[in-house]
Amino acid sequence: MIAFLTKRLMHALLVMFIISVIAFAIQDNLGDPIQQMVGQSVPESEREALREQFGLNDPFHVQYLRFAGNALSGDFGTSYFYREPALEVIARHLPATLELVFGATLLIVLLSVPIGVYSAIKPRAWISRFFMGASIIGISIPVFLTAILLIQVFSIGITVSLFPESTAWGAWLNGLLSTDGGMPSFGRGQDLVPVIGHWETNLASLGGLTHLVLPSVALASIMLPLFIRLIRAEMMEVLQSEYVKFARAKGIGVRRIYFVHALKNTMLPVITVGGVQIGTMVAYTILTETVFQWPGMGLMFLDAINRADIPLIVAYLMIVGVIFVVTNTLVDLIYGLVNPTVKLTGKPA
Partner 1 sequence: MSTPSSSPAATPAGGRWQRLRDSYLWYSFKRDRGAQLCLATLLALVGMALLAPWLAPTDPYDLAQIDILASELPPFWIDGSDPAYTLGTDAQGRDLWSIILYGTRVSLLIGFGAVLLQALLGVVFGLLAGYLGGRVDALLMRLADIQLSFSTLMVAIVVGAVVKATLGGGFYSDYAILMLILIIGLAEWPQYARTVRASVLAEKRKEYVDAAKVMGLKSRRIMFRHVLPNTLSPIFVISTVQIANAIISEAALSFLGLGMPETHPSLGSLIKAGFDYLQSGAWWITLIPGAFLVVLVLSINLLGDWLRDVMNPRLYKG
Residues that bind partner 1 (CB under 8 A): 15, 18, 26, 29-30, 136-137, 139-145, 148-149, 151-152, 156, 272, 276, 279-280, 282-284, 286-287, 290-291, 301-302, 305-306, 308, 310, 313, 317, 320, 324-325, 328
Residues 6 or more apart whose CB falls under 8 angstroms from that of 202 comprise 96, 99, 188, 189, 191, 192, 208, 209, 211, 212
The CB-of-56 to partner 1 minimum distance in angstroms stands at 18
3-state class (DSSP) for residue 333:
helix
Nearest residue (CB) to partner 1, 205 versus 265: 265
Residue 11 CB, nearest distance to partner 1 (Å)?
8
Closest-CA residue to 5 (of 273, 337, 349, 269): 337
Nearer to partner 1, 37 or 342 (CB): 342
DSSP 292-311: HT--SHHHHHHHHHHTT-HH
Q: How far is the CB of 60 from partner 1 (least distance, A)?
A: 17
DSSP string, 219-241: HHHHHHHHHHHHHHHHHHHHHTS
Q: State the nearest-atom distance from the C-beta of 286 to partner 1, in Å.
A: 6
Distances (CA, A) of 270 to 112, 116, 129, 193, 326: 11, 11, 21, 34, 18
- What DSSP state is assigned to residue 156? I
- Looking at the chain, the number of H-run helices and the number of E-run strands are 14, 2
Q: Which is nearer to partner 1, 96 or 331 (CB)?
A: 331
Query: Smaller CB distance to partner 1: residue 117 or 299?
Result: 299
Are the C-beta atoms of residues 136 and 249 closer than 8 Å to each other? no
Q: What is the three-class DSSP state of 84?
A: coil
Q: What is the DSSP string of 105-148?
A: HHHHHHHHHHHHHHHHHSTTSHHHHHHHHHHHHHHHS-HHHHHH
CB-nearer residue toward partner 1: 30 or 127: 30
Closer of 118 and 301 to partner 1 (Cβ): 301
Closer CB to partner 1, residue 118 or residue 284? 284
Greatest CA separation for the chain: 89
Minimum CB separation of residue 284 from partner 1 in Å reads 7
- Min separation Cβ 26 and partner 1, Å: 6
Q: What SS3 class is residue 200? A: strand
Q: Which is nearer to partner 1, 247 or 299 (CB)?
A: 299
Work out how close the CB of 42 gets to partner 1 at its nearest, in angstroms, rounded to a whole number: 24
DSSP letters along 5-62, please?
HHHHHHHHHHHHHHHHHHHHHHHHHSS-HHHHHH-SSS-HHHHHHHHHHTTTTS-HHH
* Shortest CB 110 distance to partner 1, Å: 23
Q: Give the bridge partners for 201, in sequence order.
A: 193
Q: Which is nearer to partner 1, 305 or 337 (CB)?
A: 305
150 vs 54: CA distance, rounded Å = 50
Beta carbon of residue 282, minimum distance to partner 1 (angstroms, whole number): 7
